[in-house]
A and B are shown apart, each in its own frame.
Chain A
């Protein structure tokens, strides 16, 4: 396809830049500013949720401790889990990375609906305030899943939890629609589906999931709120409701939600690998289409969280088989990433280190996921520390390592400065080792008989728990290195230039930080993004920026 065949090249209209502080930084319509707002807000919630985790681990250093009261411990794990899922992982991966990177990668000047984008961000801080504020009114205690009937018997904080998650849900639905329209309608001319960067594929599938699945969560939450407030019986068995109904509707959202939390991380991995391996990604189409098939399958497996809730025999079998099916596209991705390293020219910089950490820990979490999918084995493992270990291997080992890979990778694009590599490597090794030391032993005690969501335990688990707690404290410290590095880079960070890593996707073809309205002229895309060894596949790019320097 030649440039001439591409038809019109949109120029669009350009608004003058905002002039007041409020318009520029508070109610900004710029996707990049909104992305950073998401980062800062979720970062704050991450610190709070992390501190709750450390408090929990302090309580669990020994059996029958009284660091926290039982009620406070219950509140701690409920708010920790809810915050990590809804206020940290989902907003960072969709709101923050999606906003910051996706429009740049498709050569757009902003998302399709900038004003909606601003609205959906501003639903987010109030949700966080409601969730953490619930501590003043008796925070939720029944975990991030809030199964009724017990969640119907708790104080007002649980209603605040409903409102908080409802708000997040609406925000996530709106963002989903916004991103979908952006990806479908606003790609630069010449960017066919199979020329899209893989992070855009992942963001697209994620947006679809948020858009379709989140409405179910909102319905379930509305039901819980109405039952708690007005006594309309949806879930209370004594009044003719069904507690299992909640479980179905909740997981019909929350299983896709675990893919909302991992697909964008897959996308980040697929960007970082070719850049630092200096070679085309192995199996571009396989990776892109496996994201789509994972997305579709994720709607068909929700009841694997309910194998002990009294499902019919055939339901158990069906959900087991469908769950195992997901292992296949996931395997394809992992093997394709590995093959990308084969015969590569590897620059072992911090983003790649985090990706290697991701590959190692996520594969482990995927394997324990297969163990949990087999119904008879799950009957033993369900709701034990084995599950706590599994979920941290995929959410922390997967999503969080992916998030940090993305942060180190795109930090220069976001701020114009590089983070210090030595500190970054220290951060990686400390986090990787203490992460495994914290969560690996949990598999053991779970299989041996320690249930989740308990403030105390049989003394036979004392030494393992003490070891886990000490590792968790070290894990907490590792984040301080990142915080210090981030602050330090503002003044002392090396100036990055447009393309410090030698990336080939469009965000690297403009200056750092990305200028207002991103592209003076909308670029034209002539071929796929990862063809190292071939000339850059773009027209309409400023030639002084379109070089591939290396770091």
Chain B
């Protein structure tokens, strides 16, 4: 509370600084603040805005709400006083040119309050935040007890390595609900790559509220536990080149039994592959369905136009009918089998990387349809 002397000073020359109008304005702002603060507390982020699909996300949202909770009155009072003062103390037409405002230079109590209150809020926020950090960057025990897998950023897709699976899983990671995961996050190292293409990517699952940059040469363990089933986006947030805008993956959180089924399927197809029975998908495809797939999955990087009209990759309009480019980027002739091979396994050349079918989310059937569709093009 201001001492007697000080409140006298606040009233000095014109005597109306703390008048009824002032308190009325304060009341209005207080009521607006309280209403908005109540909205902040009550607003169900999950499901109204974004699912809270990991245990950490619940705590991060609490921090977010706490910050909003004290930000709201600050915003209301700053803007409120701004408007109130601008109207209340505007110069009136009858005021002489020489009219001046209050002569108050400072006010110790007021200034102490507006230093101490924000300081207390900041300390509280810092302390609360401090306790959330170890939830996703754990040390020792918690990290060790979780299932450890690897996520590797490539231009422009994600590779996941599971314990017990020989083959990597591309782009779409399956995770069981309720099982703590420690994901070792990194990026492809350039020394492994002919074109020196190592770059920083980022692994962000908005619904999990976690993000970690994938820095070449650096492995950072990120810890989380999925708590809702569903399909959630993985988004790259570090600029990584022409494909950055499209660098999306998925986390599919399954029930325990669904996950086990998926895992067993992966294992089975690995064994089939080891026996050499991977089928080449050259069953006759459906060009119409192929066109739909092309528009959904390929137009980000390819036009159905002549070779020279490049986006990320070459135009595919004359793929099978181009005398100036009789060979594919792989150097092989443009036969349906060789094109299917590129779509299945990807390619890597001067223009960049053509991702393999897992990354583009294609089935064997889709590949066949795409080849059929590409054969119909003639521009």
Contacts and interface: CB of A to CB of B under 8 A. Distances in A.
Contacts of B236: 451
Given A70-B312, A238-B190, A344 B198 contact: no
B60 A237 contact: no
A221 to B, nearest CB: 18
Contacts of B238: 147, 383
A500 B100 CA distance: 16
B211 A286 contact: no
A344 B78 contact: no
B44 interface: no
Given A147-B200, A342-B17, A277 B101 contact: yes
A325 B122 contact: yes
A180 B320 CA distance: 69
A283 B106 contact: yes
Residue of A282, A377, A380, A456 contacting most chain B CB atoms (<10 Å): A380
Interface stretch (B30-38, B134-142, B265-273): B134-142
Given A286-B106, A371-B67, A449 B81 contact: no
Given A282-B105, A371-B68, A377-B64, 4 more contacts: A150-B200, A237-B190, A279-B104, A449-B235
A324 B67 CA distance: 12
A6 interface: no
20 contacts: A147-B238, A147-B239, A243-B215, A244-B215, A309-B215, A313-B137, A332-B114, A342-B104, A343-B102, A347-B91, A370-B122, A374-B125, A375-B133, A376-B60, A376-B132, A376-B133, A382-B211, A451-B202, A451-B235, A457-B245
Contacts of A222: none
Contacts of B107: 282, 339
A543 interface: no
B129 interface: yes
Contact of A346 (B78, B91, B199, B210): B91
A149 B189 CA distance: 11
Interface stretch (A20-28, A36-44, A155-163, A357-365): A357-365
Contact of B189 (A71, A238, A453): A238
Contacts, number: 271
Contacts of B218: 237, 244, 310
Contact of B89 (A284, A317, A332, A341): A341
Interface string B99-124: 11111111100110011001100110
Contact of B101 (A284, A345, A364, A370): A345
B197 interface: yes
Residue of B104, B123, B202, B210 contacting most chain A CB atoms (<10 Å): B104
B104 A448 contact: no
Interface string A59-75: 00000100001110110
Interface in A226-278: 236-238, 242-244, 277-278
Interface of B: 14, 17, 49-50, 56, 59-60, 63-64, 67-68, 71, 74-75, 78-79, 81-82, 85-86, 89-91, 95, 97-107, 110-111, 114-115, 118-119, 122-123, 125-126, 129-130, 132-137, 139, 189-191, 196-200, 202, 204, 206, 209-213, 215-218, 220, 233, 235-242, 244-246, 248, 299-300, 311-312
B56 to A, nearest CB: 8
A384 interface: yes
B50 A448 contact: yes
Nearest to B11: A343
A317 B111 contact: no
Interface of A: 64, 69-71, 73-74, 141-143, 147, 149-150, 153, 236-238, 242-244, 277-280, 282-286, 308-310, 313, 316-317, 320-321, 324-325, 327-328, 331-332, 334-336, 338-339, 341-348, 356, 359-360, 363-364, 367, 370-371, 374-377, 379-380, 382-384, 447-449, 451-458, 532-533, 548-550
Contacts of A238: 189-191, 196, 198, 216-217
A343 B17 contact: yes
Contacts of A342: 17, 81, 85, 89, 102, 104
A382 B213 CA distance: 10
B330 to A, nearest CB: 23
Contacts of B311: 69-70
A324 B125 contact: yes
B102 A313 contact: no
A447 B50 contact: yes
A428 B26 CA distance: 27
A321 B211 contact: no
A550 B211 contact: no
Contact of B111 (A286, A338, A359): A286
A327 B71 contact: no
B138 to A, nearest CB: 9
A360 B133 CA distance: 32
B43 to A, nearest CB: 13
A-B complex: 4 closest residue pairs judged by Cβ atoms:
A279-B101, A343-B102, A237-B217, A449-B206
Contact of B122 (A283, A324, A341, A384): A324
B100 A533 contact: yes
Contacts of A317: 126, 130, 133
A489 to B, nearest CB: 24
B211 A380 contact: yes
A147 B214 CA distance: 13
A317 B132 CA distance: 11
Nearest to B233: A449
B233 A458 contact: yes
Contact of B129 (A153, A309, A335, A374): A374
B86 A380 contact: no
Contact of B241 (A150, A356, A533): A150
